Structure 1
Amino acid sequence: MGVRKRERAEGIKEANKKVAFAKLNNCPSSPRKMRLVADLVRGQKVERALSLLRFSSKEASRKLEKLLLSAINNWEQKNEGGDVSAAGLFVKEIRVDGGMMLKRLRPAPQGRAHRIRKRSNHVTVVLGQADNTQSNS
């Protein structure tokens, strides 16, 4: 491996140390309902995001809270037990994509059938570490 390629790879590894993620696939709720909750925590600090999810009355917030805790745990494992509150973690990116759809039939009048689509979603949470080295220029 050449010098430039090695330096680039080391730079990418160093940047990835500040980022941790967690994924939840085929969560059995519609993407629209999950996006309502995801929009609440996007860009928030981790402590604030957890409290928002904990006291939200929506069902999707329970699943998202568990996923956020998993992402925090992944960050701790990557950084050998680093302190979360001192690191300044925040929700850098949260993405909700449509998952597979279960297609069912419901009886309708006059011998017809209506299709029911039971939706699911995929959620990806990316945590970033706040840079404390920013200058005020």
Structure 2
Amino acid sequence: MEQETNVVSASLNGIRNSPRKMRLIANLIRKQEIFKALDLLTYSRKKRISLIFKKLLLSLLSNWEKKYNQSSSKKKEFLYIKEIRVNQGKTLKRLRPVPQGRGHRIRKRSSNIIVFLDQKKET
């Protein structure tokens, strides 16, 4: 027997921030309810990264509404972030000149984010 789940996903690729910095914010909102996570992101110190996550969560909420044709706030109370993954994307390689005609490599990392939204059982 298959269990029916209400899982919806959203992803964002090629963000020009390193995955290590993105994971700091991702760990804050992992396993949180969607509206609590949005509040945490609003008052987070890392404004640029939290804005990216906030837009992604709003997109995720919109995807859920489109998939299940439900815009009632009663059902939205039970939505939570089931899983969030931050992976490394492409790395831009640049050279920085240093003394004696040498060059050191600068790696500008990017990241990919995947978020899954699920609905808790109503009690």
TM-score, length-scaled by structure 2 = 0.92
- 64, 73, 89: which one aligns with 1:75: 64
TM-score, length-scaled by structure 1 = 0.83
Task: Using the TM superposition, give the Cα deviation of residue 131 of structure 1 relative to its aligned residue in structure 2, in angstroms.
Answer: 1.2
1:82-128 deviation per Cα after TM superposition (whole angstroms, max 9, x unaligned): 42453400010000000000000011111110100000000001011
Aligned-pair identity in percent equals 50
Counterpart of 2:42?
54
Equivalences for residues 100-115 of structure 1 within 5 A: 100-115=90-105
Counterpart of 1:3?
none
Instruction: State the alpha-carbon separation in 1 of the partners of residues 74 and 23 from structure 2.
Output: 26
Counterpart of 2:79?
89
Task: Using the TM superposition, give the Cα deviation of residue 55 of structure 1 relative to its aligned residue in structure 2, in angstroms.
Answer: 1.1
**5+ long unaligned stretches in structure 2:** none
Question: Against the structure 1 CA distance between its residues 120 and 77, is the aligned structure 2 distance closer, same or farther, given a 3 Å change threshold?
Answer: same
Task: Using the TM superposition, give the Cα deviation of residue 81 of structure 1 relative to its aligned residue in structure 2, in angstroms.
Answer: 2.5
Counterpart of 1:63?
52
**Runs of 4+ with deviation above 6 angstroms:** none
Greater strand proportion: 2
**5+ long unaligned stretches in structure 1:** 1-7
Residues paired across the two proteins, number: 121
User: CA-atom RMSD, angstroms?
Assistant: 1.4
SS of match in other structure, 1:101: strand
Instruction: State the alpha-carbon separation in 2 of the partners of residues 130 and 84 from structure 1.
Output: 14
SS of match in other structure, 2:90: coil
Larger Rg: 1
RCO higher in 1 or 2 (8 Å CA, sep ≥ 6)? 2
- 108, 115, 121: which one aligns with 1:118: 108
Greater helix proportion: 1
